[in-house]
């Protein structure tokens, strides 16, 4: 029996009426404690009991990072829908349509610019809810557009991946985004502009094997899975048990693969301070 649904909610409704929403609570997947959804939202989707960092949607992340939540989107080239006419249990074109209706975005990324602690930044945010944040041609075009805008304006470049890797419904077209995005990042570096990667859960596959691991600074959120291939696949291949915490942020920090693991509430000022050092411009303390 679900005690929350069958016992707690009826008791609350008996006291305050039938206006109690069904989604009042959320259970932490790590400690399994029940949390008021409003409290969780105010805490940036971080569990107040065990500090587990749950997935944060793009709008909330933008608001938490950019001064006054001010973020101007950049348009990028649209790609050819379903170039391979791919079909598995569903047609790829149908999956795209459903993802666009669900997220109100054209593809798995949002690109734009604003200020973080007063520092001018172009940022690319991945939407995991859009087909697992997978990287197809449109995502490649978005990263290229962001990099080119950063170079043209002399802004720093920030990428926040949250992705299962290349979008295999686009086959070789998706895999070609790996060298294309690497070339775009190379142009940012040649312009001597800061390039920071904020690794979130998960960052895997062709995303981690390309632009996501080329940052000047790699920041990771606590407990994020950062890998090329997931641990279950590796264990099944080598037939050995992997070390505890293998491929999580803290393990990668210990082994020199990321530069720092930073709590979500501290990310804005940490990024602002890093940019102030790299650009020789003083960061402001704007935390709105």
The predicted pLDDT at position 88 comes to 92
The predicted pLDDT at position 282 comes to 83
The predicted pLDDT at position 17 comes to 53
| pLDDT value at 241 more than 70 | yes
Helices (H), the chain: 3, 9-16, 37-42, 58-65, 92-103, 137-153, 171-175, 177-190, 205-208, 231-238, 249-254, 267-279
Chain-centroid distance of CA 169 in Å reads 21
Of how many residues is the chain composed? Answer: 288
Indicate the pLDDT class of residue 8, thresholds 50, 70 and 90: low
Indicate the pLDDT class of residue 11, thresholds 50, 70 and 90: low
Separation between Cα atoms, residue 278 and residue 259, nearest integer Å? 15
Contact of 166 with 207, CB cutoff 8 Å: yes
Rounded CA Rg of the chain: 20
Task: Give the chain's mean pLDDT.
Answer: 92
Separation between Cα atoms, residue 287 and residue 107, nearest integer Å? 29
Task: Kindly write down the DSSP assignment for every residue of 146-170, as one continuous string.
Answer: HHHHHHHHT-EEEEE--B-SB-GGG
- Asked if residue 189 has a cis previous peptide bond (ω within 30° of 0), the answer is no
Q: Is the pTM for the entire model greater than 0.85?
A: yes
45: left (phi over 0), alpha (psi -120 to 50) or beta: left
Which residue, 222, 211, 271, 217, is CA-closest to 62? 271
Q: How far is CA 157 from CA 57, 153, 192, 193, in A?
A: 20, 11, 11, 7
The predicted pLDDT at position 284 comes to 78
pLDDT over 70, % of the chain: 91
Residue 224: half-sphere exposure toward Cβ, Cα within 13 Å: 32
Indicate the pLDDT class of residue 10, thresholds 50, 70 and 90: low
Range with the poorest average pLDDT among 145-149, 211-215, 231-235: 231-235
Summarised one tens digit per residue, pLDDT across range 248-279 is 999 999 999 999 999 999 999 999 999 999 99
Indicate the pLDDT class of residue 82, thresholds 50, 70 and 90: very high
Which residues touch 266 (CB under 8 Å, ≥6 apart)? none
What sign does the CA torsion over 99, 102, 103, 104 have?
positive
Summarised one tens digit per residue, pLDDT across range 210-230 is 999 999 999 999 999 999 998
Higher per-residue pLDDT: 23 or 55: 55
The predicted pLDDT at position 279 comes to 94
């Amino acid at each position: 029996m679900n005690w929350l649904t069958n016992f707690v909610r009826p008791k609350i409704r008996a006291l305050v009426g039938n206006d109690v929403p069904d989604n009042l609570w959320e259970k932490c997947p790590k400690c399994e404690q029940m949390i008021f959804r409003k409290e969780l939202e105010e805490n940036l989707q971080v569990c107040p009991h065990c500090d587990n960092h749950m997935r944060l949607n793009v709008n909330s992340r933008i608001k938490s990072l950019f001064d006054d939540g001010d973020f101007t989107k950049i348009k990028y080239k649209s790609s050819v829908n379903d170039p391979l006419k791919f079909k598995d249990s569903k047609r790829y074109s149908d999956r795209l349509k459903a993802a666009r209706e669900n997220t109100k975005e054209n593809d798995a990324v949002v690109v734009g610019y604003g200020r973080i602690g007063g520092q001018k930044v172009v940022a690319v945010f991945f939407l995991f809810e859009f087909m697992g944040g997978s990287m197809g041609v449109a995502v490649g075009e978005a990263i290229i557009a962001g990099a080119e805008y950063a170079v043209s304006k002399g802004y720093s470049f920030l990428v926040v991946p949250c992705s299962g890797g290349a979008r295999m419904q686009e086959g070789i077209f998706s895999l070609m985004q790996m060298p294309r995005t690497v070339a775009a990042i190379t142009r940012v570096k040649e312009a001597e502009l800061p390039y920071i990667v904020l690794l979130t859960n998960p960052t895997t596959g062709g995303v981690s094997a390309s632009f996501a691991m080329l940052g000047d600074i790699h920041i990771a959120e606590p407990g994020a899975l950062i890998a090329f291939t997931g641990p279950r696949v590796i264990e099944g291949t080598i037939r050995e048990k992997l070390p505890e915490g293998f491929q999580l942020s803290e393990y990668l920090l210990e082994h020199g693969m990321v530069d720092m693991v930073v709590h979500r509430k501290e990310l804005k000022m940490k990024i602002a301070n890093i940019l102030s050092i790299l650009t020789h411009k003083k960061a402001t303390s704007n935390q709105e």
